[in-house]
């Protein structure tokens, strides 16, 4: 059996940046153990398996602007093409204020002695959000050296599964990013996620209130880096958009 497989760099307009993921097109379901074996073979943080629910549908639809709905283990995911951006329709996840004293060791493990302006928690995603002081610039966030083992030693309750450090952007910059972030998730086996769409459902909610804006341009400052457009909607959802490029295409032989 041969299965079409792609490596896609998402939230990027060129190769070797953004979030790399494998995408495998299926004609029918596989045995459960094969999914894990294929994902291990791809050796990327994400491997997506796509199968048509209606066998008569074509993967390569002539109407490239239609909204596609993916039935995932986490629920329905809707995505559409808008120019050269892929737009994901996601629920907004609003964070709540977190007492810094309750997670002071975790904060120190992440940002050391840097001044922290806000600490928040999103229970639905088990994320801690740490906002650095506005006195810092982007290079301070990029220069952080976060030890994943130290994070895991500071948090063993299961309440936190990822930690996001964020910083207000530079409106005078080119591009004029509204905010920056980095995402560390060693509890999931990911020391640092290159670009994280789900985190921006939380960050979008937070920064929209702080900046008084519903449409924002964000940059995740991982070593690979990734750009995202975040747009809050009146129906309680958020559009997270990014470009994507295919960097590898072939067939997987089973």
- Catalytically active residues are 46
The 10 Å Cβ neighbour count of residue 191 is: 14
* Six-digit token string for 240: 């997270």
Task: Give 58's DSSP letter.
Answer: -
Task: Give 123's DSSP letter.
Answer: T
- Please tell me whether residue 181 adopts helix, strand or coil conformation: strand
Task: Give 59's DSSP letter.
Answer: S
- Please tell me whether residue 196 adopts helix, strand or coil conformation: coil
| Burial class of residue 32, CB neighbours in 10 A (0-12, 13-18, 19+) | exposed
| Burial class of residue 207, CB neighbours in 10 A (0-12, 13-18, 19+) | buried
Overall residue count recorded for the chain in this entry: 254
CB 243 within 8 A of CB 13: yes
Is the Cα torsion angle 67, 90, 132, 156 positive or negative in sign? negative
Q: Quote the CA–CA distance of 189 and 185 in Å, as a whole number.
A: 7
* Six-digit token string for 74: 């986490």
């Amino acid at each position: 059996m041969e299965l079409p497989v792609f490596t896609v760099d998402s939230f990027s307009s060129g190769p070797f940046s953004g979030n790399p993921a494998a995408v495998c097109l299926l004609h029918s379901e596989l045995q459960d153990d094969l999914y894990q074996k294929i994902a291990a073979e791809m050796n990327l943080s994400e491997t997506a398996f796509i199968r048509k629910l209606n066998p008569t549908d074509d993967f390569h639809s002539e109407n490239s602007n239609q909204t596609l709905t993916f039935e995932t283990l986490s629920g329905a995911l809707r995505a559409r093409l808008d120019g050269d951006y892929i737009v994901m329709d996601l629920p907004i996840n609003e964070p709540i204020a977190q007492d810094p004293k309750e997670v002071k060791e975790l904060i120190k493990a992440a940002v050391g002695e840097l001044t922290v302006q806000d600490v928040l928690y999103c229970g639905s995603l088990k994320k801690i959000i740490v906002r650095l002081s506005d006195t810092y610039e982007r290079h301070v966030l990029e220069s952080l050296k976060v030890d994943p083992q130290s994070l895991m030693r500071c948090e063993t309750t299961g309440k936190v599964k990822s930690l996001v450090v964020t910083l207000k952007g530079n409106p005078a910059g080119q591009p004029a990013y509204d905010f920056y972030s980095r995402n560390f998730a060693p509890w999931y086996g990911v020391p640092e996620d290159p670009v994280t769409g789900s985190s921006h459902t939380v960050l979008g909610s937070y920064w929209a209130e702080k900046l008084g804006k519903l449409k924002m341009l964000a940059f995740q400052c991982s070593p690979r880096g990734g750009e995202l457009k975040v747009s809050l909607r009146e129906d309680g959802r958020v559009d997270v958009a990014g470009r994507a490029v295919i960097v590898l295409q072939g067939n997987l032989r089973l």
